[in-house]
């Protein structure tokens, strides 16, 4: 009964005109950036963070969440129509989706992608609602040692599940932790790593780093690549799938939704992993695996259901524990911090309208996506014909305005440019930026909880081993890192991500 009462509270918050409007804006922008290759949810949300200053907290989160799961669906449109994944999680969809389009069945593929995404989103919303309260109750039993150990585990997940080399992922984690220490000491107020620069005395802004590493760096990378535009010719007809399509797709949608829901909770980018896992499972259980790669409808249904479900269940650790499951969730925590809200289990009890309003808006947003996206296919195809050289100046302008608006400081704009160059260098040398952002967000609370744990134990570090939950979490961290470094596990891990 508590669950139903909480969902009723959430619906009453989500269906207000302002929040409905922000949800609609979010899913429309999300679909747009998913459709346009080179613009991802991380870069877009980073650019839009300054706009959330003037929005109410619930409305801001609803809009940003809509951008995230809207982008998962939008990425399928280009994957199917022009064989260009708008999103990393839509890479698998290109395998069979584009083959269906070449056979004149783009409409059926797009419709199955929409239906699968809606079903997966609905299931994931129920899971988020059902698991959030119990996990929050467990989390309330955590003390400073447990929180520190949990954050270490979250960083370990980011290392293990990132697709770069493990030493480079660890280096990214350490770099993010160092950047999080720039500014004033939490206890004494003394300047740290500011090097005599007054503008660094309050630390480096989260928005500045996010827009530089993801926004500017992504633009420079895209300008290097030759443009591959040119949509499927002719009019897209027959949007409704056949009865046979629905029968073949239903089990794949169900399995993909379950896989995505489970993997989305894990820190480290579950949507990408989930889409690969769902496609691999469908190929293994199929009676005729040779159909895959030739235009199998299940090859669209499974990964599209998986990535949408994973995108939404990744909110569970963010809402209940204050731990971001991926770079987008790190930005969400940044949005909460901007609004003066401390992420963690207290949010669920102190601001239930915010949490349950966000959860209810997910179902509403998925319904909006189902209703509005199929009629907009022609619009998205037209946008694909716009050369990227005409789009990137607008993106740079938005980044600069966003960086300046945080503190009305030109220094922040220059700093964003420097981090853009750094992000470009890191990408060229195959360093993943996501672990940097995750550790940047987790750095301050990790330091705070480490200090509190040391105060509680009178400086005895064995407190992390004598408390069962903390010791278990640190043990899991060690086991994961050891397994990831074993040659056989490492080879298999590289095969999953590289192909």
- Please spell the DSSP secondary structure of 35-100, one letter per residue: HSTT--HHHHHHHHGGGGGGS-HHHHHHHHHHHHHHHHHHHHHHHHHHS--SSGGGTTHHHHHHHH
Instruction: Tell whether the model's pLDDT for residue 38 goes beyond 80.
Output: no
Task: Map residue 343 onto helix, strand or coil.
Answer: coil
Residue 497: per-residue pLDDT: 45
Instruction: Tell whether the model's pLDDT for residue 160 goes beyond 60.
Output: yes
Between 315 and 162, name the one with better pLDDT.
315
**335's tokens:** 């949005």
Identify whether the C-beta of residue 298 lies closer than 8 Å to the C-beta of residue 248: yes
Task: Map residue 483 onto helix, strand or coil.
Answer: helix
In 3D space, the residue among 382, 96, 87, 99 whose CA is nearest the CA of residue 231 turns out to be 382
Arithmetic mean of pLDDT, 362-388? 71
Q: What is the pLDDT of residues 455-495, one digit of tens each?
A: 888 888 888 888 888 888 889 888 877 876 765 455 554 55
Q: What is the pLDDT of residues 133-154, one digit of tens each?
A: 676 666 666 778 887 887 787 7
Q: What is the pLDDT of residues 276-292, one digit of tens each?
A: 778 878 888 888 878 88
Instruction: Tell whether the model's pLDDT for residue 240 goes beyond 70.
Output: no
Task: Map residue 191 onto helix, strand or coil.
Answer: strand
Which residues in 72-223 belong to E strands, given as ranges? 183-184, 191-192
Given pLDDT bands bounded at 50, 70 and 90, which one contains residue 230? Answer: very low
Tell me what percent of the residues of the chain surpass a pLDDT of 70: 78
Instruction: Tell whether the model's pLDDT for residue 163 goes beyond 80.
Output: no
Q: What is the pLDDT of residues 42-64, one digit of tens each?
A: 777 777 777 777 788 888 888 88
Pure H helices in 339-430: 345-350, 352-372, 377-384, 388-407, 410-428
Identify whether the C-beta of residue 253 lies closer than 8 Å to the C-beta of residue 302: yes
Q: What is the pLDDT of residues 7-21, one digit of tens each?
A: 788 888 888 899 999
Arithmetic mean of pLDDT, 281-310? 84
Rounded CA gap, 279 and 256, in Å? 8
- Based on its alpha-carbon atoms, the radius of gyration of the chain, rounded to whole angstroms, reads 22
Rounded CA gap, 243 and 322, in Å? 44
Rounded CA gap, 168 and 430, in Å? 8
* Residues in CB range of 10: below 8 A, 6 or more apart: 129, 353, 355, 356, 357, 358, 359, 360, 361
Around Cβ 497, how many Cβ atoms within 10 Å?
A: 13
* Token pair 């050891």 in the structure block, residue: 482
Given pLDDT bands bounded at 50, 70 and 90, which one contains residue 231? Answer: very low
Dmax over CA atoms of the chain, in Å, equals: 73
Q: What is the pLDDT of residues 330-374, one digit of tens each?
A: 778 877 777 777 776 677 777 788 888 888 888 888 888 878 776
In 3D space, the residue among 322, 252, 313, 240 whose CA is nearest the CA of residue 283 turns out to be 252
Identify whether the C-beta of residue 229 lies closer than 8 Å to the C-beta of residue 387: yes
In three-state form (DSSP H/G/I as H, E/B as E, the rest C), the secondary structure along 211-273 is HHHHHHHHHHHHHHCCCCCCCCCCCCCCCCCCHHHHHHHHHHHHHHHHHHHHHHCCCCCHHHH
* Token pair 């239906």 in the structure block, residue: 115
Task: Map residue 141 onto helix, strand or coil.
Answer: coil
**89's tokens:** 């999680």
Instruction: Tell whether the model's pLDDT for residue 390 goes beyond 50.
Output: yes
**64's tokens:** 């940003």
Identify whether the C-beta of residue 155 lies closer than 8 Å to the C-beta of residue 480: no
Rounded CA gap, 472 and 474, in Å? 6
In 3D space, the residue among 120, 491, 379 whose CA is nearest the CA of residue 275 turns out to be 120
Rounded CA gap, 10 and 31, in Å? 24
pTM score above 0.85: no
Identify whether the C-beta of residue 140 lies closer than 8 Å to the C-beta of residue 345: yes
Task: Map residue 223 onto helix, strand or coil.
Answer: helix
Rounded CA gap, 124 and 118, in Å? 10
Residue 498: per-residue pLDDT: 44
Residue 253: per-residue pLDDT: 92
């Amino acid at each position: 009964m508590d669950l139903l009462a909480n969902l009723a509270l959430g619906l009453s918050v989500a269906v207000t005109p302002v929040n409905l409007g922000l949800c609609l804006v979010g899913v429309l922008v999300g679909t747009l950036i998913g459709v346009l290759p080179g613009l991802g949810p991380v870069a877009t949300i980073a650019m839009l963070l300054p706009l959330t200053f003037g929005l109410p907290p619930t409305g801001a989160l609803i809009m940003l969440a809509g951008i995230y799961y809207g982008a998962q669906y939008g990425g399928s449109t280009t994957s199917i129509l022009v064989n260009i994944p708008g999103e990393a999680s839509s890479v698998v969809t290109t395998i069979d989706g584009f083959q269906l389009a070449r056979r004149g069945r783009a409409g059926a593929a797009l419709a199955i992608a929409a239906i699968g995404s809606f079903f997966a989103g609905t299931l994931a919303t129920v899971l988020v609602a059902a698991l959030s309260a119990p996990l929050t109750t467990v989390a309330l039993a955590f003390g400073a040692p447990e929180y520190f150990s949990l954050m270490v585990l979250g960083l370990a997940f980011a290392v293990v599940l990132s697709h770069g080399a493990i030493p480079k992922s660890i280096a990214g984690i350490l770099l993010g932790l160092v950047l999080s220490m720039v500014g004033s000491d939490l206890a004494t107020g003394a300047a740290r790593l500011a090097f005599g620069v007054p503008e660094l005395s309050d630390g480096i802004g989260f928005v500045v780093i996010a827009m530089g590493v993801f926004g500017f760096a992504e633009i420079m990378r895209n300008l290097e690549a030759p443009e591959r535009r040119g949509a499927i010719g002719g009019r897209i007809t027959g949007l409704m799938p056949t009865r046979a399509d629905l029968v073949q797709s239903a089990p794949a949608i169900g399995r993909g939704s379950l896989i995505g829901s489970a993997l989305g909770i894990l820190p480290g980018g579950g949507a990408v992993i989930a889409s690969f896992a769902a496609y691999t499972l469908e190929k293994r259980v199929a009676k005729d695996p040779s159909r895959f790669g030739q235009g199998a409808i299940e090859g669209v249904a499974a990964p599209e259901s998986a990535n949408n479900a994973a995108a939404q269940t990744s909110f569970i650790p963010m809402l209940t524990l204050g731990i971001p499951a991926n770079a987008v969730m790190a930005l969400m925590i940044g949005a909460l911090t901007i609004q003066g809200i401390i992420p963690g289990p207290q949010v669920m009890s102190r601001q239930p309208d915010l949490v349950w309003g966000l959860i209810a808006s997910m179902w509403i947003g998925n319904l909006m996506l189902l209703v509005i996206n199929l009629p907009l296919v022609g619009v998205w195809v037209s946008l694909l014909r716009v050369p990227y050289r005409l789009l990137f100046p607008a993106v740079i302008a938005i980044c600069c305005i966003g960086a300046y608006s945080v503190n009305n400081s030109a220094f922040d704009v220059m700093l964003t440019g420097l981090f853009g160059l750094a992000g470009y260098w890191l990408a060229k040398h195959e360093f993943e930026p996501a672990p940097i952002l995750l550790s940047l967000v987790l750095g301050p609370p990790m330091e705070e909880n480490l200090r509190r744990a040391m105060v509680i134990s009178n400086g005895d570090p064995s407190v992390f081993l004598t408390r069962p939950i903390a010791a278990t979490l640190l043990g899991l961290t060690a086991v994961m890192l050891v397994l990831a470094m074993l040659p056989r596990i490492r080879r298999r891990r590289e095969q999953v991500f590289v192909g």
